[in-house]
């Protein structure tokens, strides 16, 4: 058996029973692929079910308010994926009459759909002979063929796509593509791959040359930036608080948060007070206290957020405020959602 045949044989025996594998409906396959980008299957599964229940069709998703989409997405991170998801649904409805394109090129023209997602939908739903190349596939191909070209380099991306096309099974592209990804997730895992029981072990270059732990190769990661967030949690006598919506192109665009002061370092109360006075949207307060003595470190891909929550009690009635028992209705970053759960009013 050749490489592709061995992958298919393994897949028939070891494939997991996942809901999006029981359908060829492009909407559901696309939904699962966007959710599973940078998300483990176990974490993504509940979100898939939530979205399918809330938005059974692409029309339902397209017509939903953005806040509802962001709220359902809350906790998955990388919120640009949710905004692109919403934009793509509108595009499919408005430009394609609710029908996903059936070609790789047509799918790739949709917002938020790149090479991998277009290849996945095209092959899973329409049997288009287009190879998928995700993190799992990079790992399998890199180890099996002993390729040390960085997978996140321009050269590497082109090389592995070409290699994937050469070894794929054109006649059963749907199962082959799902099989090689499953193989990378389970058999040829990032850590502690099951090499002794691997059907590819006899021809695996990495195993033969003792390079399993060093392949695939990645270029140096982007330097992590430290940021210091001070959230101002206003509370009046009516148990109201103030939320604001994040604008601009930074992290958490269009999500809600408490008024924020970002600083160059961790602040003490006496350093924060004059900065609060400069904020026009924060009324006079009677008491200021730090909720968490140690900053909560929230790690994003290229940023570490050192976060402090400050409680500001005021006798001033927050006319534009939101009742504390209603803030669960707003889409917020998981960092703030976790804080809200712990604060007892």
Burial 18-37 (b: 16+ CB within 10 A, else e): eebbeeeebbbbbbbbbbbb
Residues 254, 258, 259, 265, CA torsion sign: negative
| Among 25, 33, 270, 278, the one annotated catalytic | 33
**CB under 8 Å to 219, separation ≥6 — which residues?**
150, 152, 153
CA angle, 15 then 105 then 219, to 5°? 65
From the CB of residue 326, how many other CB atoms can be counted at a distance below 10 Å?
A: 12
Give Rg (Cα) of the chain.
24
- CA–CA distance, 32 with 49 (Å, rounded to integer): 9
In terms of C-beta density within 10 A (0-12 exposed, 13-18 middle, 19 or more buried), how is residue 315 classed? exposed
Find tokens 């396959």 and name the residue.
Answer: 29
Give the containing element (helix H, strand E) for 235.
strand 225-235
Residues 6+ apart with CB under 8 A from 305: 227, 228, 229, 297, 298, 299, 335
Annotation marks residue 237 as catalytic = no
Which positions are catalytic? 33
């Amino acid at each position: 058996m050749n490489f592709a045949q061995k992958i298919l044989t393994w897949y028939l025996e070891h494939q997991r029973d996942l809901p999006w594998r029981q359908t060829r409906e492009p909407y559901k396959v696309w939904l699962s692929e966007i959710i599973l980008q940078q998300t483990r299957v176990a974490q993504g599964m509940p979100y898939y079910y939530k979205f399918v229940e809330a938005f059974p069709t692409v029309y339902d998703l397209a017509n939903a308010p953005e806040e509802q989409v962001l709220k359902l997405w809350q906790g998955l991170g990388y919120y640009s994926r949710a905004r692109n998801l919403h934009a793509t649904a509108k595009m499919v409805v408005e430009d394609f009459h609710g029908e996903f394109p059936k070609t790789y090129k047509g799918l790739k023209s949709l917002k938020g759909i790149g090479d991998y997602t277009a290849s996945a939908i095209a092959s899973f739903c329409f049997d288009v002979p287009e190879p998928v190349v995700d993190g799992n596939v990079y790992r399998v191909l890199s180890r099996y063929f002993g390729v040390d070209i960085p997978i996140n380099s321009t050269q590497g991306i082109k090389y592995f796509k070409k290699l994937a096309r050469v070894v794929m099974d054109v006649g059963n592209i749907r199962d082959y593509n799902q099989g090689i990804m499953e193989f990378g997730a389970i058999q040829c895992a990032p850590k502690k791959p099951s090499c002794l029981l691997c059907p590819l072990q006899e021809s695996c270059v990495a195993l033969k040359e003792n390079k399993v732990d060093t392949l695939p190769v990645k270029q140096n990661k982007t330097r992590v930036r430290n940021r210091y967030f001070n959230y101002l949690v206003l509370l009046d006598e009516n148990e109201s608080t103030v939320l604001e919506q994040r604008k601009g192109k930074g992290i958490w665009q269009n999500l809600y948060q408490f008024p924020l002061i970002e600083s160059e370092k961790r602040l003490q109360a006496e350093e924060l007070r004059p900065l609060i006075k400069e904020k026009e949207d924060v009324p006079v307060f009677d008491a200021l206290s730090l909720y968490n003595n140690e900053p909560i470190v929230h790690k994003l891909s290229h940023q570490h957020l050192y976060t402090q929550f400050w409680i500001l009690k005021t006798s001033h009635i927050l006319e534009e405020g939101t009742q504390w028992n209603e803030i669960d209705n707003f889409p917020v970053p998981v960092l703030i959602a976790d804080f809200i759960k712990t604060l007892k009013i």
